[in-house]
Structure 1
Amino acid sequence: MVFDYQLGGPYPPDEAVRAVSRDRTAKPAQGLYNVCYVNAFQSQPGDAVDWWRKHHPELLLKDADGSPVVDEDWDEPLLDLSTPGKRQALMEIVGPWIDGCAKAGHDAVEPDNLDSYERSDGLLTAGHAAAFAELLAERAHSRGLAIAQKNTTDLLPERDRIGFDFAVVEECAAFDECGDFADAYDDKVFAVEYTRKDYAAACRTWGPRLSVTLRDRDVRPAGTKGHVFTHC
């Protein structure tokens, strides 16, 4: 299935496209397989950060000085998954987002930043991430949604226990991970690359098996400067 990654804003998909991922605030694309993007392990930047700080500061991961731990590449504070109680409290917020994906008519959910523990300065572990992902999978399945593993080869051995159904992976050619995901998910993988060199490598090696898409790194909507979309 040709896949389009429309996180920067929805737009009419190319006629070849059969599956699309859009932010949970966007409407699904009519007649296509729709994957609902949810930033489940970190906060969105901007107003969303202020919302967390105002309403749920206890659920933001903090260092020993009490300062939020931030993914500096995206300016996104990490959510605190470190205890069962905090994971359940987070589900009171993230769970309804997943419900909203189902109500809007999406087919699947893509919870992003599964690998946030790698940016937590040792405060979170892969086990914390897997435990929260299991709660997300249970919620998605209970609402009739499939759920994708997003990146993170370290958690591939946990995929069945967690309940992941397929994968959405970024830069698997760049990091030489496409084969790991392809084997784990029996080729049920949407692979997104952000450079033409990596895209060409992915198509050359994995094009016959995987759905490979080239997007601009800011995933800009069609018609805007810098937009890139092609597939193999």
Structure 2
Amino acid sequence: MPSFAIALIAAAIATVEAVAVLEKRAVTLPPANGKFDYQLGGAYTPPTGTQILTRDRTASPVTGLYNICYINAFQTQPDDATWWKTNYDTLLLRKSNNQYFEDPDWPGEIFLDTRTAEKRTALATIVNGWIDGCATAGFKAIEPDNLDSYTRSNSLLTKANNLALAKLLADHAHTKNLAIAQKNTAELTASDKATVGFDFAVVEECQAYDECDNFTDIYGTGMLEIEYTDNDNAQSVFKAACTARGATHSVILRDRDLVASGQSGYHYEQC
């Protein structure tokens, strides 16, 4: 083949690859320090001035806000466990005694088995379908929860395998022009972020556990922070978070169960 033809083919390939990268990164990030509300215990009218809103993937986004679609991507929701057992039992993690491995912190939530490429591909097929639903509904980003399930799995799961699944989800989300958040998992590095393709972070209790720098060092102001009222000295923790980052970051204080406004136990404060 003539050299000029080879050059033309190479240029065409490079152009396609460049376009693919641009399309993959055609995402919008949350506004820095935008007023934030976290609604996973039931949807309600956001507080006045809210700019950023997280809701479950089964809820509707709110027009005019930056809507983040919550997905439990690394373990089951309690009310979905029967569906998983019936349809995808082999994708659920089991202990050596063959019992399902439930999250010790959240009973009823079974870990998804990310240990093989085959299982990760099967899981991504399911979760990517949910991501498609988020895009169709009008969300701007996804928040795949429980990335850190490997830290509670008695070493059955690994960081590398969970990150490999996260990358499959991130790649798909980007093709839908959705940003993707790193959820918690303070031990991840800047290299891990780049490998997966995370765009921003959603972090619970980083002030309470002295982990906030792990995220701000990587994401700068691209971190949404939730502290909770049931922690010891919750108001002092929240005040310290506001003093440290409230002028530059979205920081809120919420009740642990994230109940809807108007229900018993509801609590919401922002810096």
Shorter-chain TM range is over 0.9
TM-score by length of 2: 0.84
What residue number does 1:2 align with? 35
- The answer (yes or no) to whether the contact 1:130–1:155 under 8 Å persists in 2 is no
Q: Secondary structure at the match of 1:117?
A: helix
The alignment status of 1:206 with 2:240, answered yes or no, reads: no
Once residues 168 and 86 of structure 1 are traced to their aligned partners in structure 2, the CA distance between those partners, rounded to angstroms, is 26
| 1:149 equivalenced with 2:188 (yes/no) | no
| Secondary structure at the counterpart of residue 188 of structure 2 | helix
> Which one has the largest radius of gyration?
2
Distance 1:211 1:92 in 2: 32
Task: Note the 1:11-160 alignment, pairs <5 A.
Answer: 11-46=44-79, 48-75=80-107, 76-157=109-190, 158-160=192-194
Where does structure 2 lack aligned partners over 5 or more consecutive residues? 1-33, 230-234
Q: Which amino acid aligns with 1:170?
A: E
SS at match of 1:49: helix
- Which residue of the partner structure matches residue 212 of structure 2? 178
1:192 pairs with 2:231: no
Asked if 2 retains the 8 angstrom alpha-carbon contact of 1:19 and 1:34, the reply is yes
Identity %: 51
Aligned 8 A contact 2:104 2:152 in 1: no
Q: 1:209: Cα distance to partner?
A: 2.1
Mapped to 2, the partners of 1:168 and 1:177 lie a distance apart of 13
Distance in 1, matches of 2:128 and 2:164, equals 14
Note the C-alpha offset of 1:178: 1.2
210, 232, 254: which one aligns with 1:215: 254
Query: TM-score, normalising length from structure 1?
Result: 0.97
Contact between 1:178 and 1:206, CA under 8 Å: does it hold in 2? Answer: no
Provide the rounded CA distance (Å) in 2 between the counterparts of 1:17 and 1:33.
9
Aligned to 2:263: 224
Q: 1:182–1:210: 8 Å Cα contact kept in structure 2? A: no
Contact 1:36 1:110 in 2 (8 A): yes
Note the C-alpha offset of 1:197: 2.7
Moved over 3 A (4+): none
Question: 1:32, 1:188 → 2: CA distance?
Answer: 17
**Greater fraction strand:** 1
